[in-house]
A and B are shown apart, each in its own frame.
Chain A
Amino acid sequence: AQSVTQLGSHVSVSEGALVLLRCNYSSSVPPYLFWYVQYPNQGLQLLLKYTTGATLVKGINGFEAEFKKSETSFHLTKPSAHMSDAAEYFCAVSAPGGTSYGKLTFGQGTILTVHP
């Protein structure tokens, strides 16, 4: 079974400040990990993903995340927040194979607010 925990349902930062959104996962097999962003009244957009290889992955809009197996974490960061980053962010995990293949398990989401 897989599970995802996002620490902090709401994160507030000032424009230009570091963004750090935390995600920890539980999986019985090496997982695939994803971050999605959801803007108001829109669907989900893939920010970045980790499958294999380099543990630091870069995504769109200046975001990056680092897979740390020892900490079972996949935290999302951005060096400098923009007002346009205000949205809800979801961390998700899927199994690379087996009966759970293709099924995403999502965290509860973190709403990011950016103040001027």
Chain B
Amino acid sequence: SAVISQKPSRDICQRGTSLTIQCQVDSQVTMMFWYRQQPGQSLTLIATANQGSEATYESGFVIDKFPISRPNLTFSTLTVSNMSPEDSSIYLCSVERGGASYGYTFGSGTRLTVV
């Protein structure tokens, strides 16, 4: 399975600021996904990021708040913009390689606290 390096692992940010989370994969992958895990809750898909095209956002998530870049087949960033305490969550990237039947690999997550 793919190995994912996600940075930063955690951060404490002031409200109104922005944080960019990086996801680096050790091999080329077509599809990358960004999830949010709010405190004590399950994971919710934010968006799908394919190289060479605009990210596709799920209902309730917008590009202005969560801009995503996907410059190549091994890297993606998610920015959490104009943060508020409600954005305090764990953000995880995930990749699929070789088809969905191989499962999805997750990064170790970025634990964000907004104060």
Contact = CB atoms under 8 A, between A and B. Distances in A.
A103 B33 contact: yes
Interface in A54-113: 90, 94, 96, 101-109
Interface residues of B, number: 25
Contacts of A103: 33, 45, 48, 58
A43 B96 contact: no
B92 interface: yes
A34 B74 CA distance: 24
Contacts of B41: 108-109
Given A43-B109, A51-B101, A103-B33, A90 B45 contact: no
Contacts, number: 59
Contact of B103 (A34, A96, A105, A109): A34
A87 to B, nearest CB: 14
Interface string B93-110: 010100011011111110
Interface in B68-115: 92, 94, 96, 100-101, 103-109, 111
Interface of A: 32, 34, 36, 41-46, 49, 51-52, 90, 94, 96, 101-109
